[in-house]
């Protein structure tokens, strides 16, 4: 099941089990030395056909941190996010140039299995998209198709729902339809469904944009909690959200190509979130985070 072309990482010892975060799990900012690098993104450009949606992106993602991608509409945040688990492979004409090194291995190398990539690097989307199945079956689905025996699935479902802070609300109605849950509950269910596969990384594409402030606050708390065990990359339009939850922030903008009259996303600045929001080094970042642009 595991892909020999991908390097082993600590939490994939047994992808079928996710217990509580091990005692030895790295803590966020443990000693000022920083956490190990999970992604090293080098000179990455993403194309849709001949259109270059985002160009020459360079930044790193550290383990057990939350990295936020922010910037105005159309600057390529979602496109870049989807390149981190080869989700763009599913878009006809999409192509990635450069290197998306994951633990030192380019995810786009020949021989890397995109299915295994997406198991290790899960994704939560803007709009909650539960299957029209029971709450239980939504969470058990991934383990089931990855061959986890039925006898182990109850434990995985319970663990995942607990980690997604949903267990107490649904434990007495696991056989009820997921579609009867509220929007915020459905989004937490989708998070449970993602972590049921014991990923190392969870990518989140505007996970709160369809939620009210209370449901948003719950998901934000959950993200911070999940970062003790997972590495998180989030796309958000909500700058307060990026400031509240993330450790690092990448600010993107667009450059206009006068000849083709198209806009290509560029990474303007990547740094500690606190610095991006207080003392950014680029004027474009400052204009954006202070609301003077975008």
Q: Which residues bind ligand ATP (CB under 6 A)?
A: 48, 53, 71, 73-79, 91, 237, 265
Residue pointed to by tokens 């058990």:
140
What letter would DSSP give residue 177? B
Angle, CA of 215, 221 and 226, to the nearest 5°: 120
Is the CB of 11 or the CB of 77 nearer to ligand ATP?
77
By beta-carbon proximity to ligand ATP, the closer residue of 105 and 237 is 237
CB of 205 to ligand ATP, least distance (A): 8
State the minimum distance, in angstroms, from the CB of residue 16 to ligand ATP.
33
Nearer to ligand ATP, 170 or 234 (CB): 234
Residue that the structure tokens 């198709």 belong to: 145
- Output 78 or 246, the one with its CB closest to ligand ATP: 78
Tell the smallest beta-carbon distance from residue 286 to ligand ATP (Å): 19
The least CB distance from residue 233 to ligand ATP, in Å, is: 13
> Do the Cβ atoms of 93 and 49 come closer than 8 Å?
yes
The tally of CA atoms less than 13 A away on the side-chain side of residue 250 is: 24
Question: Least distance from C-beta 45 to ligand ATP, angstroms?
Answer: 12
Of the pair 186, 236, the CB lying nearest ligand ATP is at 236
> What Rg value do the Cα atoms of the chain yield, rounded?
19
Nearest Cα neighbor of 165 from 229, 234, 116, 226 is: 226
Compute the least distance from the CB of residue 82 to ligand ATP, in Å: 8
CA distance 243 to 261: 33
CB of 94 to ligand ATP, least distance (A): 7
Provide the 10 A C-beta neighbour count for residue 90.
Answer: 10
Give the distance, in angstroms, between the CA of residue 272 and the centroid of all CA atoms in the same chain: 18
Nearer to ligand ATP, 38 or 53 (CB): 53
- Closest to ligand ATP by CB, 127 vs 146, is 127
Which pairs with CB-CB distance under 8 Å and at least 24 residues apart come from 210-219? 210/126, 210/127, 210/128, 210/183, 211/183, 211/184, 211/187, 212/183, 212/184, 214/184, 215/182, 215/183, 215/184, 215/187, 216/184, 216/241, 218/165, 218/184, 218/188, 219/184, 219/187, 219/188, 219/191
Would you say 76 or 142 has its CB closer to ligand ATP?
76
Query: Rounded to the nearest whole angstrom, what is the least distance from the CB of residue 79 to ligand ATP in the complex?
Result: 3
């Amino acid at each position: 099941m595991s892909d020999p072309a991908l390097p082993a990482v600590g939490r994939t010892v047994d992808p079928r089990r996710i217990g509580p975060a091990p005692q030895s799990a790295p803590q966020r900012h443990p000693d000022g030395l920083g956490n190990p690098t999970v992604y090293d993104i080098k000179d990455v450009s993403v194309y849709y056909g001949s259109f270059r949606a985002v160009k020459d992106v360079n930044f790193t993602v550290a383990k057990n941190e939350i990295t936020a991608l922010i910037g105005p509409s159309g600057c390529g945040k979602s496109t870049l996010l989807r390149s981190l688990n080869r989700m763009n492979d599913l878009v006809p004409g999409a192509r990635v140039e450069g290197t998306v090194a994951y633990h030192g291995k380019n995810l786009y190398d020949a021989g890397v299995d995109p299915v295994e990539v997406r198991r290790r690097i899960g994704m939560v989307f803007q709009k909650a998209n539960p299957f029209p199945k029971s709450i239980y079956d939504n969470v058990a689905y991934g383990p089931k198709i990855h061959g986890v025996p039925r006898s182990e699935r109850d434990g995985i479902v319970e663990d995942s729902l607990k980690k997604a802070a949903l267990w107490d609300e649904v434990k007495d109605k696991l056989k009820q339809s997921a579609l009867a849950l509220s929007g915020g509950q459905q989004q937490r269910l989708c998070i449970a469904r993602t972590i049921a596969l014991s990923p190392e990384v969870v990518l989140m594409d505007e996970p709160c944009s369809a939620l009210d402030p209370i449901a948003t606050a719950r998901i934000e708390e959950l993200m911070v909690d999940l970062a003790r065990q997972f590495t998180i990359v989030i796309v958000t339009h909500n700058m307060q959200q990026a400031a509240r939850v993330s450790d690092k922030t990448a600010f993107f903008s667009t450059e206009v190509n006068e000849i083709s009259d198209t806009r290509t996303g560029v990474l303007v600045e990547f740094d500690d979130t606190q610095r991006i929001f207080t003392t950014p080094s680029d004027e474009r970042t400052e204009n954006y985070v202070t609301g003077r642009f975008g």
